[in-house]
């Protein structure tokens, strides 16, 4: 970890775009990937995603890895009641078993900064678990080197969250599907997410979504069973250059797609309910419906949702 301080500190990349901008980061040098066989479909069984929207509940779980890495986790989940309102704290979970989506925030951010997007995922039928990392969250020491520890944090959180579904008396008992899991993240969280499919491969993961991420520190040696990947990146990103994100996309040996926002910056579109956020939300929901529910109709809808309104282009290699 300490052998790469320059590369990682330069990763002001790990900023969220909330607190300011830095110089763009060039793509990391990497060897040409070895040819690999891709898989044309998710490894989850074919099925159908819910067509109705759910109300959304929210709760927090306090976790701590190894006693010195506090990881409070915010969980948004499908809940009983009328859809469309604000997330209700400790609401009763909706009936059914739902896929689990992990989300990793960027440097100096918090899970709740992304709640507009994450609650839309929950309303579509996913349980979203978002840890607050001990060093890179707002209020932490902002040490970008600690990002290398975050893939292990996410794997730990996944284990503990899935255990809730097996714990009698827990509000999520019987509501989680451990065979349908994705990892997602923005900026530093995008690096974390890439790491979960490379050096820190967690074989429980079926798919990934990377928002404005780069492979600095975690590499592009994608490993394990094929897991479709969706990249979302602004072409005007002032923190992590579009070229850096595209280089990681190019290295993925599995089914993949890239949603590119020609006027998109480092990620402010993820934080407010604007037109760009709606395109990103709809595209990511359909991707998760396909990869975690195995819904082929969702895959067919992806290109139209991604390019609606001319706000983005979609490089579809799924």
Q: How far is CA 281 from the centre of its chain?
A: 12
Which residues of the chain are under the pLDDT cut of 70? 1-42
Q: Is residue 259 part of a domain?
A: yes
- Write out the residue range of the structural domain in which residue 275 sits: 53-317
- Cβ partners under 8 Å of residue 246, min gap 6: 27, 231, 233, 258
Q: Which helix (H) or strand (E) holds 257?
A: strand 256-261
- Residue pair 191/14 in contact by the 8 Å Cβ criterion: yes
pLDDT of residue 269: 78
Q: Is residue 134 part of a domain?
A: yes
Q: Is residue 168 part of a domain?
A: yes
The predicted-structure confidence for 28-63, as pLDDT tens digits, reads as follows 333 333 333 444 455 788 899 998 999 999 999 999
**CATH number of the domain to which 306 belongs:** 3.40.50.1820
pLDDT of residue 45: 86
The predicted-structure confidence for 186-217, as pLDDT tens digits, reads as follows 999 999 999 999 999 999 999 999 999 999 99
Task: Please tell me the total count of domains within the chain.
Answer: 1
pLDDT of residue 3: 34
Q: Is residue 14 part of a domain?
A: no
Q: Is residue 272 part of a domain?
A: yes
Q: Is residue 224 part of a domain?
A: yes
pLDDT of residue 42: 58
Q: Give the Cα separation of 252 and 107 in Å (integer).
A: 24
Q: Is residue 15 part of a domain?
A: no
Q: Is residue 35 part of a domain?
A: no
Of the candidates 208, 307, 305, the one whose C-alpha atom is nearest the C-alpha of residue 260 is: 307
């Amino acid at each position: 970890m300490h052998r790469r301080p320059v590369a990682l500190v330069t990763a002001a990349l790990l900023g969220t775009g909330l607190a300011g901008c830095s110089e763009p980061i060039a793509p990391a040098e990497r060897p040409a990937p070895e040819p690999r066989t891709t898989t044309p479909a998710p490894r989850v069984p074919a099925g159908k995603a819910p067509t109705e929207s759910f109300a959304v509940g929210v709760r927090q779980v306090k976790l701590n890895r190894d006693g010195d890495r506090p990881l409070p986790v915010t969980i948004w989940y499908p809940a009983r009641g009328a859809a469309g309102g604000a997330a209700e704290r400790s609401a009763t979970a909706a009936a059914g078993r739902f896929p689990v989506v992990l989300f990793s925030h960027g440097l100096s951010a918090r899970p709740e900064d992304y709640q507009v997007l994450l609650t839309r995922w929950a309303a579509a039928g996913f349980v979203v678990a978002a840890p607050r990392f001990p060093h890179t969250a707002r209020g932490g020491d902002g040490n970008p080197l600690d990002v290398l520890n975050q893939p292990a944090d996410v794997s730990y959180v996944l284990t503990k969250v899935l255990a809730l579904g097996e714990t009698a008396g827990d509000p999520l008992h019987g509501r989680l599907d451990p065979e349908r899991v994705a990892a997602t993240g923005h900026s530093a969280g995008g690096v974390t997410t890439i790491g979960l499919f490379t050096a820190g491969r967690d074989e429980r993961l079926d798919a990934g979504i990377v928002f404005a991420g780069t492979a600095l520190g975690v590499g592009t040696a994608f490993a394990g069973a094929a897991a479709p990947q969706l990249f979302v990146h602004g072409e005007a990103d002032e923190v992590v250059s579009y070229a850096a994100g595209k280089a990681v996309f190019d290295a993925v040996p599995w089914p993949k797609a890239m949603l590119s926002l020609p006027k998109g910056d480092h990620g402010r579109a993820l934080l407010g309910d604007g037109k760009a956020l709606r395109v990103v939300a709809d595209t990511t929901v359909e991707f998760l419906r396909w990869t975690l529910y195995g819904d082929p109709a969702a895959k067919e809808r992806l290109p139209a949702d991604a390019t609606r309104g001319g706000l983005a282009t979609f490089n579809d290699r799924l």
